[in-house]
Amino acid sequence: MIRILCRSAAVALVFAGSVACAPAVRRAAIIDENVAVAVRQIGMLADSAETGGVIRIPSTYKNGAVEYVPVDDWVSGFFAGTLWYMYELTGDQTWAARAQRHTEILDSVQHLQWHHDVGFMIYDSYGNGLRLKHIPGYEDVIVQTARSLSTRFRPVPGVIQSWDADRGWQGTRGWQCPVIIDNMMNLELLFKATEFSGDSTFYNIAVSHADRTMQEHFRDDCSCFHVVDYDLSTGQVRGRCTAQGYADDSAWARGQAWAVYGFTTCYRYTGDRRYLDHARRVADFMLNDPNMPDDLVPYWDYDAPNIPDEPRDVSTAAVLASAFYEMYVHTDNELYKQTADRIVESLSSPAYRAAVGENGGFLLMHSVGSIPHGSNIDVPLNYADYYFLEALIRKQRIEAGEPLF
C-alpha cells in the first residue's frame, strides 16, 4: 500500500485520506506497511486492555495471555506512548482519545519517589500527549514528576539513585547507591521540566548525572557496566556489576542501547558535544563487536556464553534504531541512517514481526526482559513496540525533510 504523506502543522492527518492538502513526500512503503499491521495489532491489544470498561496496561504476552502491570511498574508508560505514536502515524483521532485515557490513569506516578523510572513512565505518556495535543495540565505533571525524581539525587556522588537499596531483590546485594545505565533515559524529563518551569535545578541534576555516568560506567572499549554502586558519604565508587546481564564484566545489550540513546538525548538538550561523541563510541562498540549478528538484532548480552544459541533482544534493536535516526540528524553521517533502516527492515520481517492476529496484539516478538531474574524471556515487550514505532516516525520525518523535534 502506498499513500501520499500529507502533514499539517498539528500533525493530524490522514490515514483514511480524508484531509486534502498538497502532496509532500511519498512515505516509504515499509512505514505504510508497518502502520497497516500496527493498526490491526495495537488496535486488538487496546481493545482487550479496555475490556469491561477498565483500563489495564499491557506489558507482554505469554502462554496465550496478555499480561498487565500496575501503574507503578517501570513499563507502565509505554503503552500510552505507543497509542500516541499510533495517533502520530495515522492522524486518526480515535488513537488520541485512547492514548489520553491510557495516559491519565498514570496520574499518581508524578508523586512516585521509590524508584527512578518515572522519567520513562511520564515522558513517554504525558510527554508525547503534550507534544501532540498540548493538553492543559500535562506540563504540570511533568514538572511534578521531575520534583519527585529529584528527591533521588545524591549530591555527594552527583547522581540520581536508581533503586532503593533496602527493598526487594535489590536489598540483597549490599548496595548503598546503585545507579543503572538505564537511568540515562530518565533525564529527558528533567531537561523538559526546566524548559517548562524555568527552574534550572532539574537541568543541573541531569547534567551532573550524565557526567558522572560517563566517567564511571564505561570500560576502555566503551561498553558499559549495568550497575555502579556509589558510597553516599564519600561519593566514591564501591563496585561495578550487573543485575540483568550475563556477568558483571559483560555487555548487557539493552544497557548499551540505553547508553547510546540516553547520551544522544543529552546532546540534544545541552549541545555538549562530549555526549554525542560518547554515544558514537558506544554505538561503535555495539556495531563492531563480532557478536553483533548480521541482521543487527543483538543477542541479549554480547558476552552470553552460548552465542549463537542465545535469545535475541528485539527491544535493544528497536531502541538502537530510534537512537541511530537521531544520531544521523546530529552528525549527517549516513551510516547511522543506513544502519537504522537495516534494523527496521529486520524487525519488519516475519522473523521478528508477528503475523496479524497473533502475539496477543503486540507487534514484535523475541525480546528479553531479564534472564538472571527468569523474567520475560523471548517474548513481546511493550517497550520494543514503543521504540519501533518511534523509529518509524523518525524515519518518516527524516525522509520528508522535517525536523525530528
Positions in the binding site for ligand GLY (CB under 6 A): 74, 182, 244, 254, 369
The grid coordinates listed for 290 are 563480532
141's CB contacts (< 8 A; 6+ apart) are 107, 110, 122, 126
Number of H helices, E strands in the chain: 13, 9
Q: Is 182 a catalytic residue?
A: yes
Closer by beta carbon to ligand GLY, 58 or else 369: 369
**How many angstroms from the chain centroid is the CA of residue 83?**
14
Residue (of 314, 285, 288, 287) closest to 299 by Cα position: 314
Give the C-alpha separation, 330 to 262, whole Å.
14
Closer by beta carbon to ligand GLY, 227 or else 343: 227
**Shortest gap between Cβ of 254 and ligand GLY (angstroms)?**
5
**Shortest gap between Cβ of 321 and ligand GLY (angstroms)?**
16
Residue of 92, 124, 182, 313 marked active site: 182
In the numeric block, the cell 513517554 is attached to 124
**Shortest gap between Cβ of 369 and ligand GLY (angstroms)?**
6
How far from each other are the two terminal CA atoms of the chain, in whole angstroms?
27
Instruction: Judge whether 349 and 388 are in contact, CB under 8 Å.
Output: no
Closer by beta carbon to ligand GLY, 145 or else 244: 244
Residue nearest to ligand GLY (CB): 182
Residue of 32, 92, 117, 385 marked active site: 117
Element holding 347 (H helix, E strand): helix 334-347
Residue (of 130, 161, 141) closest to 227 by Cα position: 161
**Shortest gap between Cβ of 370 and ligand GLY (angstroms)?**
6
**Shortest gap between Cβ of 383 and ligand GLY (angstroms)?**
8
Closer by beta carbon to ligand GLY, 158 or else 255: 255
Instruction: Judge whether 202 and 150 are in contact, CB under 8 Å.
Output: yes
In this structure, the number of other CB atoms found within 10 A of the CB of residue 256 comes to 27
41's CB contacts (< 8 A; 6+ apart) are 354, 356, 359, 361, 362, 363
**Shortest gap between Cβ of 349 and ligand GLY (angstroms)?**
24
Give the C-alpha separation, 288 to 281, whole Å.
10
Q: Residue 29, exposed/middle/buried by CB under 10 A (0-12, 13-18, 19+)?
A: exposed
Instruction: Judge whether 171 and 215 are in contact, CB under 8 Å.
Output: no
**How many angstroms from the chain centroid is the CA of residue 205?**
20
Closer by beta carbon to ligand GLY, 152 or else 395: 152
**Shortest gap between Cβ of 73 and ligand GLY (angstroms)?**
10
The grid coordinates listed for 348 are 519488519
Instruction: Judge whether 194 and 203 are in contact, CB under 8 Å.
Output: yes
Q: Is 295 a catalytic residue?
A: no
Give the C-alpha separation, 312 to 256, whole Å.
14
**How many angstroms from the chain centroid is the CA of residue 199?**
25
Closer by beta carbon to ligand GLY, 369 or else 380: 369
Closer by beta carbon to ligand GLY, 49 or else 318: 318
Residues designated catalytic:
117, 182
